[in-house]
């Protein structure tokens, strides 16, 4: 199986598990698990395909992805009570999914347009959009707004992949470099609380106090 | 007028009314009613068309849908003060819209791909996405996260439609079966509080207590 | 440079600045500024292109837009601490972006379909969607739900543009009329608190009190 296809299945599967873990945190029923697993698992790739005009999107032309999401939802439904901390597992799996998907999104963007700038953005957007959607639908505080490095990791991964490809690295090497770079950055942020400096301005006031 | 077109108008109209009822709950002006009516009415079908690559989307090629949404918004603006409980009306109309749209989405997905799995998912997604969008934009607690059966009803409806079609039922019979099944399940959930069992794990802690 | 291209860059740039201001209010890091700047800057136009089937979307075929968003994000990161009220600046720039984008969206919709009704809706949706997305992702109260006139301004602008075009006005004149009209309406709403009457029904109860 080609490397990009493996990455795609891996990204879908782990994001699907994070969606199901969110469903568990919200005490939904089994269909709720499968629904959030599916939306999270296929959300990023769907956005990528729609932006690039690669429609019908990937899971319409290959419904195996839907089976993967369904299986992930059911597996979490049956086992979530065994987990000590679902949120911690959620963010670590989200880190794995983000690492796989930033390379996958960059590769598809590069293939479709040849532009490294577009590749970095499609990589970043598709790696983060599944999680954004999951948090919005589940009513969780968005992982985007947490202080630890998040979007940066996706950008580093898609940037390293795009750079390595531009330097002539074979697909499998460039992919490995991109995935590892993204995971090291995001994993370090989770483990050691890595942050980048915020701007020098303080927090915003409530809109009603300003208008 | 063919059955699928009737379903499409019906789904758009009732979802538009639910969007306008949300606008009324938030005390928006008449343009706010029309805006939320339009987004809710055409949101699910727009997602369906974009995913399947059927662009320009349905309401661009046939702007009558926009008139339907506008009329629904104005009608609710003029009459909402007469209603005893807008939220109760909203969820019951949402149930009607969901029933029409899960069949409509499944039919379009089946026609475009021939895959029953894809049909069930396009049915489920398009039936629920209008309401998800409405709740997000209006800042209401998402109907997805309420305990009563919701997504399941859309899945039952699109599954019964897809199954009946696979067994050779004529379009109008399969549609009627799918719509009735979805409405019975969702209506029963609203009337009798039907739920499916939730997982065995407890509610999630706040992310800040976990990280 | 043709007038529509100028409008497009202007709309993207000012929306990008509003996204970066939101990032500043949430004390994100520099990548967070660039991310929210990009999503807000290109969000409305992306939705427009996807709905019309004009894919790959505009910033994939012309990545200069991404450089504009990145520059806007960095500029705000470096200067936000100098601003007295970021939220006030945000809503005024949002008004500029909305005025440029309602004309731009209407022009593209008219060109693609020839339908004035579709043009008004694509104008309205694309002018408001960037801000909606920004507020959702940043967890801010949606500008849609504030009492002052908002969607109405976009509708007036795209309506005036569409009407002037139908009456035979040259593109540059119709554009100027549309932009001015939208900005006068939205600016008046911000400066003088203009509102339209809300419906006669009171605010909604909490769903849990109704079900």
ipTM of the complex: 0.85
The Cα–Cα gap between A170 and A166 comes to 10
Q: How confident is the model at residue A73 (pLDDT cuts 50, 70, 90)?
A: very high
- Domain coordinates in residue numbering, chain A: 3-197
> What does the pLDDT read at residue A74?
95
Note whether C198 contacts B25, CB cutoff 8 Å.
Answer: no
Q: Which of A68-72, A115-119, B3-7 has the highest mean pLDDT?
A: A68-72
The pLDDT of A150-166, averaged and rounded, is 94
Provide DSSP, A109-157. Answer: HHHHH--HHHHHHHHHHHHHHHHHHHHHHHTPPPGGGSSS--HHHHHHH
Provide DSSP, B48-111. Answer: HHHHHT--S-HHHH-THHHHHHHHHHHHHHHHGGG-S-HHHHHHHHHHHHHHHHHHHHHHHHHH
Residue in A119, A112, A99, A19 with CA at minimum distance from that of residue A58:
A112
Listed as own residue / partner, the contacts of B171-175 with beta carbons closer than 8 Å and 24 or more positions apart are B171/B3, B171/B4, B171/B107, B172/B3, B174/B103, B175/B3, B175/B4, B175/B7, B175/B103, B175/B107
Express each pLDDT in B192-203 by its tens digit. Answer: 888 888 877 777
Express each pLDDT in A117-139 by its tens digit. Answer: 889 989 998 899 988 899 989 88
Q: Which residues in chain B touch residue A85, judged by CB atoms under 8 angstroms apart?
A: 210
> What does the pLDDT read at residue C67?
92
CA C161 to chain centre: 16
> What does the pLDDT read at residue C187?
93
Question: What residue of A is the nearest CA neighbor of B199?
Answer: A77
> How distant is the Cα of B207 from the closest Cα of chain A, in angstroms?
7
* Range in A197-211, B68-82, B130-144 with the lowest mean pLDDT: A197-211
> How much of chain A exceeds pLDDT 70, in percent?
98
Mean pLDDT over all residues of chain C?
88
Residue in B75, B80, B28, B25 with CA at minimum distance from that of residue C195:
B28
Chain C within 8 Å of A203 (Cβ-Cβ)? yes
Express each pLDDT in C112-145 by its tens digit. Answer: 888 898 999 899 988 999 889 999 998 888 888 8
> What does the pLDDT read at residue A166?
93
Q: Which residues in chain C touch residue B85, judged by CB atoms under 8 angstroms apart?
A: 210
Note whether C139 contacts A136, CB cutoff 8 Å.
Answer: no
Express each pLDDT in A162-211 by its tens digit. Answer: 999 999 999 999 999 999 999 999 999 999 888 888 877 777 777 767 66
Note whether B50 contacts C52, CB cutoff 8 Å.
Answer: no
Q: Over 70: is that where the pLDDT of B71 sits? A: yes
Q: Which residues in chain B touch residue A46, judged by CB atoms under 8 angstroms apart?
A: 51
Residues 6+ apart with CB under 8 A from C190: A211, C91, C92, C95, C148
Express each pLDDT in C90-105 by its tens digit. Answer: 888 889 999 999 999 9
> What does the pLDDT read at residue A69?
94
* Angle at CA of residue C16, ends C64 and C77, nearest 5°: 105
Q: Which residues in chain B touch residue A56, judged by CB atoms under 8 angstroms apart?
A: 51-53, 112-113
> What does the pLDDT read at residue B177?
96
The Cα–Cα gap between B122 and C114 comes to 30
List of chains touching B (3+ CB pairs within 8 A):
A, C
> What does the pLDDT read at residue A194?
86
Tokens of A116: 């490294």
Q: Over 70: is that where the pLDDT of A1 sits? A: no
The Cα–Cα gap between A138 and A130 comes to 12
Q: How confident is the model at residue C83 (pLDDT cuts 50, 70, 90)?
A: confident
* Range in A188-192, B37-41, C7-11 with the lowest mean pLDDT: C7-11
Tokens of A23: 């469903």
Listed as own residue / partner, the contacts of A138-142 with beta carbons closer than 8 Å and 24 or more positions apart are A138/A22, A138/A23, A138/A25, A138/A26, A138/A36, A138/B145, A139/A26, A139/B141, A139/B142, A139/B145, A140/A22, A140/A25, A140/B207, A141/B207, A141/C139, A142/C137, A142/C139
> What does the pLDDT read at residue B203?
75
> What does the pLDDT read at residue B211?
65
Q: Which residues in chain A touch residue C35, judged by CB atoms under 8 angstroms apart?
A: 124, 128, 144, 151
* Range in A81-85, A157-161, C33-37, C130-134 with the lowest mean pLDDT: A81-85
Mean pLDDT over all residues of chain A?
88
Q: Which residues in chain B touch residue C132, judged by CB atoms under 8 angstroms apart?
A: 137
Express each pLDDT in B87-124 by its tens digit. Answer: 788 888 889 999 999 999 999 999 988 889 899 989 99
The Cα–Cα gap between A3 and C71 comes to 35
Express each pLDDT in A84-109 by its tens digit. Answer: 777 788 888 889 999 999 999 999 99
Chain C within 8 Å of A71 (Cβ-Cβ)? no
Q: Where are the alpha helices (DSSP H) in chain C?
A: 3-25, 30-52, 58-61, 64-79, 86-113, 116-138, 151-166, 171-192, 207-210
Window 47-66 of B, Cβ < 8 Å to A? 50-53, 55
Query: What are residue B29's DSSP bridge partners?
Result: C198
> What does the pLDDT read at residue A40?
93
Window 96-135 of B, Cβ < 8 Å to C? none
> How distant is the Cα of A77 from the closest Cα of chain B, in angstroms?
6
B32 in Cβ contact with B23 (< 8 Å): yes
Mean pLDDT over all residues of chain B?
88
Question: What residue of B is the nearest CA neighbor of A76?
Answer: B199
Q: Over 80: is that where the pLDDT of C211 sits? A: no
> How much of chain C exceeds pLDDT 70, in percent?
97
User: How many residues belong to chain C?
Assistant: 211
> What does the pLDDT read at residue A6?
82
Q: Over 70: is that where the pLDDT of B18 sits? A: yes
Residue in C92, C48, C121, C106 with CA at minimum distance from that of residue C183:
C92
The Cα–Cα gap between A101 and A198 comes to 26
Note whether B50 contacts C50, CB cutoff 8 Å.
Answer: yes
Say whether the peptide bond before residue B169 is cis (omega within 30 degrees of 0): no
Q: Over 80: is that where the pLDDT of A160 sits? A: yes
Chain C within 8 Å of A202 (Cβ-Cβ)? yes
Query: What are residue A198's DSSP bridge partners?
Result: C29
Q: Which residues in chain B touch residue C122, judged by CB atoms under 8 angstroms apart?
A: 60
Q: Please name the residue that has the structure tokens 């427009």.
A: C48
Question: What residue of B is the nearest CA neighbor of A142?
Answer: B207
The Cα–Cα gap between B61 and A118 comes to 30
Tokens of B189: 């959930």
Express each pLDDT in B162-187 by its tens digit. Answer: 999 999 999 999 999 999 999 999 99
Express each pLDDT in C172-210 by its tens digit. Answer: 999 999 999 999 999 999 998 888 888 777 777 777 676
């Amino acid at each position: 199986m080609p490397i990009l296809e493996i990455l795609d299945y891996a990204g879908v599967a782990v994001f699907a598990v994070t969606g199901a873990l969110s469903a568990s945190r919200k005490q939904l029923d089994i269909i709720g698990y499968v629904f959030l697993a599916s939306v999270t698992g296929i959300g990023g790739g769907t956005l990528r395909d729609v932006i690039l005009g690669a429609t019908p999107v990937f899971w319409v032309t290959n419904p195996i992805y839907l089976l993967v999401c369904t299986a992930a939802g059911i597996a979490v439904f049956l086992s979530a009570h065994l987990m000590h901390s679902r949120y911690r597992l959620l963010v670590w799996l989200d880190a794995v999914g983000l690492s796989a998907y930033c390379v996958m999104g960059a590769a598809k963007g590069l293939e479709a347009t040849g532009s490294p700038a577009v590749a970095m953005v499609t990589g970043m957007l598709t790696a983060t959009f599944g999680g954004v959607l999951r948090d919005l639908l589940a009513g969780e505080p968005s992982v985007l707004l947490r202080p630890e490095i998040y979007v940066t990791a996706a950008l580093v991964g898609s940037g390293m992949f795009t750079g390595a490809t531009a330097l002539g690295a074979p697909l499998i090497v460039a992919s490995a470099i991109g995935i590892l770079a993204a995971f090291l950055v995001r994993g370090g942020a989770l483990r050691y609380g890595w942050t980048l400096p915020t701007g020098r301005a303080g927090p915003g006031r409530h809109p009603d106090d300003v208008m």
